């Protein structure tokens, strides 16, 4: 079948309509509700840019949540090189690498609620038989045991770790697919020319999987900015805001404090930050790709 405009329309229109009604229009609306003083029930009052000015200049908690999101993103991106190395080793030295990739991918298909409950049990205090604390005490590291999710100093890092664990397989899969796409001849030719395993990975595989790096990095960054469900399940943003990130703060403001306008202002900034991050990452990878002449 030829790809006539009608055919294209047939395939693209339904998802486009979905996208417009459930994503695009609500985002636009949130920019306008952000200008209101509204509890979500009564008649809204016009509030101008006050929500934004309060948020940006008078709300220290907001900037703390932004910082946590950025740290979250940095952590998520830092596992991508590890994922790449794993994928490279698996595709080069293992006959059935895809099986191991499938095993690593398994946590991704688990519901976040399941993952959250699982790790909550692992992080349980020693008195409740928490696995992590139990291992620490077996290693005679009792001074390190703690209630991981209730200690504000470590709770956020405990959450980062769960996300890293869950999404490692995701990035390995992306990198693995990228590596499989490289024609076998390139690697063989390099081997014949006397390149060793490291050199093949460094000079052939790494540059040629660059587009896949870009995908991984963008997904990791945006995913971290939008992190919500895992945090809601495991800590609900607590104790006392210690694990609050932008999206949970937005939710708590809109629905618990019933400040819809303020919540919408957070939501719209979240959208802007995500766009900004995508632009920066795209520009960054554009330069790298030009360096390796992949265009």
Point out which residues bind other proteins (CB under 8 A).
4, 6-7, 9-10, 13-14, 17, 39-43, 120, 123-128, 147-152, 234-236, 238-242, 252, 255-260
Tell me the closest approach of the beta carbon of residue 274 to other proteins, in angstroms: 23
Rank residues 47 and 98 by Cβ distance to other proteins and give the closer one.
47
Rank residues 16 and 288 by Cβ distance to other proteins and give the closer one.
16
Cis omega (within 30 of 0) on the bond before 239?
yes
Rank residues 207 and 239 by Cβ distance to other proteins and give the closer one.
239
Backbone angles phi, psi at 235, to 5 degrees: -130, -15
Q: Is 159 exposed, middle or buried (0-12, 13-18, 19+ CB in 10 A)?
A: buried
Q: Which two tokens stand for residue 110?
A: 């688990």
Rank residues 44 and 81 by Cβ distance to other proteins and give the closer one.
44
Rank residues 21 and 196 by Cβ distance to other proteins and give the closer one.
21
Contact 148, 155 (CB under 8 A): yes
DSSP 63-119: HHHHHHHHHHHHHHHHHHHHHHHHHHHHHHH-TTHHHHHHHHHHHHHS-HHHHHHHH
Rank residues 14 and 211 by Cβ distance to other proteins and give the closer one.
14
C-alpha 254/C-alpha 264 separation (Å) is 7
Backbone angles phi, psi at 150, to 5 degrees: -105, -5
Tell me the closest approach of the beta carbon of residue 148 to other proteins, in angstroms: 8
Tell me the closest approach of the beta carbon of residue 152 to other proteins, in angstroms: 6
Contact 35, 239 (CB under 8 A): no
**Cα 64 vs. chain centroid, distance in angstroms?**
18
Backbone angles phi, psi at 284, to 5 degrees: -60, -50
Tell me the closest approach of the beta carbon of residue 6 to other proteins, in angstroms: 5
Which of 19, 16, 21, 46 has its CA nearest to residue 34?
Answer: 46
Rank residues 10 and 46 by Cβ distance to other proteins and give the closer one.
10
Backbone angles phi, psi at 245, to 5 degrees: -120, 180
């Amino acid at each position: 079948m030829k790809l006539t405009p009608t055919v294209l329309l047939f395939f693209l229109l339904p998802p486009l309509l979905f996208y417009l009604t459930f994503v695009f229009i609500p985002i636009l609306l949130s920019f306008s509700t952000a200008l209101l003083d509204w509890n979500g029930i009564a008649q809204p009052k016009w509030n101008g840019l006050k929500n934004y000015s309060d948020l940006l200049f008078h709300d220290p908690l907001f900037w703390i949540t932004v910082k946590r999101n950025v740290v979250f993103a940095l952590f998520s991106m830092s596992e991508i090189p590890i994922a790449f190395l794993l994928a490279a080793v698996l595709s080069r030295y293992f006959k059935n690498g895809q099986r191991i990739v499938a095993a690593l991918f398994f946590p991704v298909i688990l519901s976040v609620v399941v993952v959250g409950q699982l790790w909550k049990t692992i992080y349980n205090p020693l008195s409740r038989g928490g696995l992590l604390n139990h291992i620490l005490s077996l290693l005679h590291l009792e001074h390190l045991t703690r209630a991981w999710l209730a200690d504000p100093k470590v709770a956020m890092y405990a959450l980062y770790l769960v996300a890293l664990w869950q999404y490692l397989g995701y990035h390995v899969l992306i990198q693995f697919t990228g590596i499989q796409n490289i024609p076998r001849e390139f690697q063989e030719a390099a081997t014949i020319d006397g390149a060793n395993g490291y050199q093949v990975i460094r000079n052939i595989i790494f540059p040629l999987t660059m587009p896949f790096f870009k995908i991984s990095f963008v997904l990791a960054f945006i995913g971290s900015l939008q992190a919500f469900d895992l945090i809601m399940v495991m800590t609900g943003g607590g104790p006392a805001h210690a694990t609050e990130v932008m999206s949970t703060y937005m939710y708590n403001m809109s629905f618990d404090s019933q400040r819809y306008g303020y919540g919408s202002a957070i939501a719209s900034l979240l959208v802007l930050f995500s766009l900004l991050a995508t632009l920066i990452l795209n520009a960054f990878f554009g330069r790298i790709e030009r360096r390796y002449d992949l265009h």
